[in-house]
């Protein structure tokens, strides 16, 4: 079956309010795509709906993973199929230490208890790659984490869980330059024939470090333009107004 994440004519609403209006998007395994677009375009909603957030209603359309429809699956079933979502606003989980959270998440992902040696090998590799102090593993998840630490923690999750498809929502927001490079190093280390990512970002800057294969632009609940990395550069230079006009005129 086709190895890809595929969104077909997806219409989504929230309490009667239409948010997504016919999204079409395909991310083949082995590629990293960027998703850009103005505030309120529906980028985070798309990410959440792909992950199975029950707060949104899918009115129409389908989400397929490797050719199999997952539109109606529970979030944990999607995670077991290799889907990972890092949230724009990461949650605090009081009383759960980072290492324990990761072990539980990995158990969920694998559908069974991970062998303890493998788990620690993954942890060590991830911590080293992020040049982070092991001390973070005994902290409570996101409690008192700085904005940058929360984002690094998402990448830590990514590296330990090793999903096949990852959706990273504004992983760059609030990062200093060094942390940005560290996060990019983490994502880039995952790149390969068995990994795909959809990176939601507002800034070209991140894409200097995570060079996308394809850039999509979302506006008013649909993908209105798709291009190469040069599209992100053009948006950085010209903003979104020209594209709005282009879309309105089409």
Ligand X SMILES: Nc1ncnc2c1ncn2[C@@H]1O[C@H](COP(=O)(O)OP(=O)(O)OP(=O)(O)O)[C@@H](O)[C@H]1O
Q: Residue 91 interacts with ligand X (CB under 6 A)? A: no
Q: Residue 19 interacts with ligand X (CB under 6 A)? A: yes
CB of 37 to ligand X, least distance (A): 6
User: Smaller CB distance to ligand X: residue 56 or 132?
Assistant: 56
CB of 151 to Mg ion, least distance (A): 14
Q: Residue 37 interacts with ligand X (CB under 6 A)? A: yes
- The residue within the footprint of ligand X, chosen from 3, 11, 13, 14 (CB under 6 A), is 14
Q: Residue 45 interacts with Mg ion (CB under 5 A)? A: no
User: Smaller CB distance to ligand X: residue 50 or 179?
Assistant: 50
Q: For strands 57-65 and 17-28, give the pairing.
A: unpaired
Q: Which does 3 bind (CB under 5 to 8 A by kind): Mg ion, ligand X, none?
A: none
Distances (CA, A) of 119 to 42, 84, 85, 107: 36, 18, 20, 10
> DSSP of 125-143, one letter per residue?
HHHHHTT--GGGGGSBTTT
Q: Which does 39 bind (CB under 5 to 8 A by kind): ligand X, Mg ion, none?
A: ligand X
CB of 90 to ligand X, least distance (A): 14
CB of 24 to ligand X, least distance (A): 16
Q: What's the rounded Cα separation, in Å, for the pair 218 and 227?
A: 12
User: Smaller CB distance to ligand X: residue 15 or 135?
Assistant: 15
- The residue within the footprint of ligand X, chosen from 43, 103, 152, 222 (CB under 6 A), is 43
- The residue within the footprint of Mg ion, chosen from 12, 23, 42, 44 (CB under 5 A), is 44
Enumerate residues 116-155 that contact ligand X by CB under 6 A: none
User: Smaller CB distance to ligand X: residue 99 or 166?
Assistant: 166
CB of 39 to ligand X, least distance (A): 3
- Contacts with ligand X by CB under 6 A lie at 14, 19, 37, 39-45, 55
Q: Rule CB under 5 A: which residues touch Mg ion? A: 43-44, 88
């Amino acid at each position: 079956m086709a190895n890809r994440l595929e969104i077909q004519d997806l219409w989504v609403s929230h309490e009667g309010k239409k948010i997504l209006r016919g999204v079409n998007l395909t991310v083949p395994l082995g590629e990293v795509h960027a998703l850009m677009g103005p505030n309120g375009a529906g980028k985070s909603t798309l990410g959440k709906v792909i992950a199975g957030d029950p707060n949104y209603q899918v009115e129409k359309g389908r989400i397929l993973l490797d050719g199999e429809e997952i539109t109606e699956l529970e979030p944990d079933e999607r995670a077991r199929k290799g889907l990972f979502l890092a949230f724009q606003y990461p949650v605090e989980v009081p009383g759960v230490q980072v290492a324990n959270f990761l072990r539980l998440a990995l158990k969920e992902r694998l559908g069974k208890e991970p062998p303890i040696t493998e788990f620690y090998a993954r942890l060590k590799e991830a911590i080293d790659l992020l040049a982070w102090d092991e001390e973070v593993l005994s902290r409570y998840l996101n409690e008192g984490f700085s904005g940058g630490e929360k984002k690094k923690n998402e990448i830590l999750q990514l590296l330990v869980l090793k999903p096949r498809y990852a959706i990273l929502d504004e992983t760059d927001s609030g990062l200093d330059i060094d942390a940005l490079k560290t996060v990019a190093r983490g994502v880039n280390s995952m790149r390969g024939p068995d990994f795909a990512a959809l990176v939601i970002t507002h800034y070209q800057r991140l894409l200097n470090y995570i060079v996308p294969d394809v850039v999509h632009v979302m506006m008013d609940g649909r993908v209105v333009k798709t291009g190469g990395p040069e599209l992100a550069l053009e948006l950085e230079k010209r903003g979104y107004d020209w594209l709005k006009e282009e879309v309105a005129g089409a």
